[in-house]
Structure 1
Amino acid sequence: MHPLKECYELTAEIIRFFEDEQNDDRDSKISVLQDKLRKRDDLMKKITPPFSDGEQVLGRQLLQLNDRLLQLLNKEKATIQQDITKVKKRKKIHTGYINPYGSLQTDGYFYDKKK
C-alpha cells in the first residue's frame, strides 16, 4: 500500500480513537496515541513526490484530517493543563493548612544602623 494511503487511514483511525468516549483511562490513551503518532510520523517521512491526481486529492483530504487531528490534540492538551493547574492549586492550599505560618512575608522589617 502507498504510504500516503496508509497515513490517511492511520490519521482517520487516530481521530476515531479520540472521538471514542469509552477511552477514560488517560495514561493508556496517551501511550496508544504516542504509538500511533510515531507510526504516522514514519509514514509521513516515506511520502515523496511526484504525485498522481488521485494522490493529490487524497493529500488534500489528509490535510483536512490533519487539521481536525490538531484541534483534538489541542483540546486534549488544554484539559491536561487544566488538570495540572487544579492539582497544583489543591497542593498549595493543602500545604497552607499544614503549615499556615510557612509563607510569611518579610517585607516589613526595618534595620537600624548605628553611627
Structure 2
Amino acid sequence: MNVNQTLFSVTTQLAELTSIVPSQENRDEIIEKIFSLLDERDELLPSVQPPKDEGERQLINKIVDLNDQINRSMNIILSDIKKDLSGLKDQKKVHNQYINPYKSLNNLSAFFDKKE
C-alpha cells in the first residue's frame, strides 16, 4: 500500500469519525480519536507523492473532498463546544449571583446627597 492509499484510508476514518455528532458524554473520547488520526495524517502528508496516473489523481481528489467534509464537521463540533462553554459561563455567573447577591451592586452613589 503506497502513501496516497494510506492517507486516503486515514482520511476516510477521520471523515467517518467526524460525521458522528458526539454527545457530551463521549465527546472527549471522540476528540482524542480525532487528534490521534490527525497526528497520523500529519505524519503522512509530507511524504505524499504526486499522482502518476488517473487512478491516483481521482484518489487525491477524493482526499481533498473528504478534507472539505472533515473541515465542515469539525466546525460543527467546535460550535457545539463553544455553545456549551458559553452555557457554563452563564451558569457560573448565575450561581455566583445566587451565592453573593450584593457583590455586583454599585455603592458609589451612597454619599452624594450631602447638604451644601
Distance 1:92 1:98 in 2: 10
Instruction: Please state if 1:33 is matched with 2:34.
Output: yes
Deviations 1:2-35 (A, max 9, x none): 1111111111111112334687511111111111
**Secondary structure in structure 1 of the residue aligned to 2:105:** coil
Deviation at 1:43, TM superposition (A): 0.8
Counterparts of 1:64-103 in structure 2 under 5 Å?
64-103=65-104
How many aligned positions are there? 110
**Secondary structure in structure 2 of the residue aligned to 1:104:** coil
**Secondary structure in structure 1 of the residue aligned to 2:40:** helix
The TM-score normalised by the length of structure 2 is 0.83
Deviations 1:17-67 (A, max 9, x none): 233468751111111111111001111121133x21222221111110100
Unpaired stretches in structure 2, ≥5 consecutive residues: none
RMSD (CA atoms):
2.2
Unpaired stretches in structure 1, ≥5 consecutive residues: none
